[in-house]
Chains A and B, each alone.
Chain A
Amino acid sequence: MKHNLILRLIAKFLFPVIALFAFYVQFHGDYGPGGGFQAGVILSVAFIFYALVYGLKTTEEILPPHVLRLLASSGVLIYAGTGVVSLLMGENFLDYDPLSSEPAAGQHLGILVIELGVGITVSSVMLMIFYAFAGRGQP
């Protein structure tokens, strides 16, 4: 899509809007609908949209596949690591009470951190799958 000037401009304009909405869904998940999974999908949609208009090569330069592989595994690590931290602090696995001075604050922090892990893994896995499919047709 080299010659679609309007499409390219709109894509450039929409990318930050979609990404911002993804972050809103990510960090507002405790208060409204949404959470890590939905936010991850929306963030990957922003990059997929960019790739559809500007081509896979350009997108892979911005976000290389090896970085995605690293991110996908680090998200799971963040999630499971939170559980291990609470385990080491003398509580059950994935019980966030001891993460802060007060149980409620600890829960808030724990939920925020594990949702971040979910978001990172989901968005990078979705993009990884898209790269795999879209890169198939190219030499």
Chain B
Amino acid sequence: MIDTLIDITLLAFLVFTAVAIIRMRNLFVIIMLFSLYSLFSAGLFAVMDAADVAFTEAAVGAGISTVLMLGTLALTKNHEEKPPSHLARLPLLVVLVTGGALVYGTYDIPSFGDPASPAQTHVGPYYIQHGKEDTSAPNIVTAVLASYRGYDTLGEVTVIFTAGIGVMLLIGGRLMRKQKRKDQR
């Protein structure tokens, strides 16, 4: 009962924040609202007992990405351009069709915590029954991420590493700029 109430409150706040983000023109305010949006999402994950996901969302979504967006804002203008005055019919149609398709797609998704869903009947029961003795890690999430699915996590770490290299190559070029100045001389 209280879970449902918290869920409804958090989801309502999510919608309010989303609408506010659409209507705002000040980019600083929008970034702050994005951070708030992430925080509400983290709260929702926590209510769904996904502590690890909530943790990540709060640290990355509400924390780091806000700082990075603010850093970007410092390099650009503070205000968005004025919106076009005419009604954009074609984009509206595309958005409505895509949104409708997504909502239609949710009807095939098993409901939250459904014991008959494929995720709960395939390898999930094995992990829950044997995770502790196989990996000696009481936290099943860690057991799956680090041991059973260690190969996937290696891929994820490589992705993060590659992303870092990409950012360094694109904009981390204080060293390169110095070199360029030398070349110009």
Residue of A nearest to B150 (CB): A94
Task: Write out the residue numbers on chain B whose beta carbons fall within 8 Å of the beta carbon of A35.
Answer: 52, 141-142, 145-146
Per-residue B-contact encoding for A87-130, CB less than 8 Å = 1, 0 else: 00000011010000000110110110011011001101110111
| The one of B52, B157, B168 that contacts A75, using a Cβ cutoff of 8 Å | B157
Q: For the complex, what is the distance from the CA of A32 to the CA of B133, rounded to whole Å?
A: 17
Given the known inter-chain contacts A108-B136, A125-B160, A133-B171, please indicate yes or no for A114 contacting B56, CB distance below 8 A. no
Task: Write out the residue numbers on chain B whose beta carbons fall within 8 Å of the beta carbon of A58.
Answer: none
Given the known inter-chain contacts A29-B142, A33-B55, A132-B171, please indicate yes or no for A104 contacting B71, CB distance below 8 A. no
Could you tell me if A32 and B137 are in contact, using CB atoms closer than 8 angstroms?
Answer: no
Report the minimal beta-carbon distance from B125 to chain A, rounded to whole angstroms: 20
Could you tell me if A130 and B164 are in contact, using CB atoms closer than 8 angstroms?
Answer: no
Per-residue A-contact encoding for B110-150, CB less than 8 Å = 1, 0 else: 00000000000000000000000111111101110111001
Could you tell me if B147 and A107 are in contact, using CB atoms closer than 8 angstroms?
Answer: yes
Q: For the complex, what is the distance from the CA of A137 to the CA of B59, rounded to whole Å?
A: 25
Could you tell me if A76 and B161 are in contact, using CB atoms closer than 8 angstroms?
Answer: yes
| The one of B52, B67, B68, B75 that contacts A137, using a Cβ cutoff of 8 Å | B75
Task: Write out the residue numbers on chain B whose beta carbons fall within 8 Å of the beta carbon of A55.
Answer: none
Residue of B nearest to A119 (CB): B157
| The one of B56, B71, B138, B154 that contacts A38, using a Cβ cutoff of 8 Å | B56
Residue of B nearest to A110 (CB): B147
Could you tell me if B150 and A130 are in contact, using CB atoms closer than 8 angstroms?
Answer: no
Task: Write out the residue numbers on chain A whose beta carbons fall within 8 Å of the beta carbon of B151.
Answer: 93-94
Q: For the complex, what is the distance from the CA of A32 to the CA of B141, rounded to whole Å?
A: 9
Q: For the complex, what is the distance from the CA of A138 to the CA of B172, rounded to whole Å?
A: 12
B102 interface hit (Cβ, 8 Å): no
Task: Write out the residue numbers on chain B whose beta carbons fall within 8 Å of the beta carbon of A117.
Answer: 157
Residue of B nearest to A42 (CB): B59
Task: Write out the residue numbers on chain B whose beta carbons fall within 8 Å of the beta carbon of A124.
Answer: 164
**Residues of A participating in the B interface, judged by any CB pair closer than 8 Å:** 25, 29-35, 37-38, 41-42, 44-45, 48, 52, 65, 69, 72-73, 75-76, 79-80, 83, 93-94, 96, 104-105, 107-108, 110-111, 114-115, 117-118, 121-122, 124-126, 128-138
Q: Which 7 A-B pairs have the closest CB atoms?
A: A125-B164, A33-B51, A133-B71, A132-B172, A30-B137, A94-B150, A104-B136
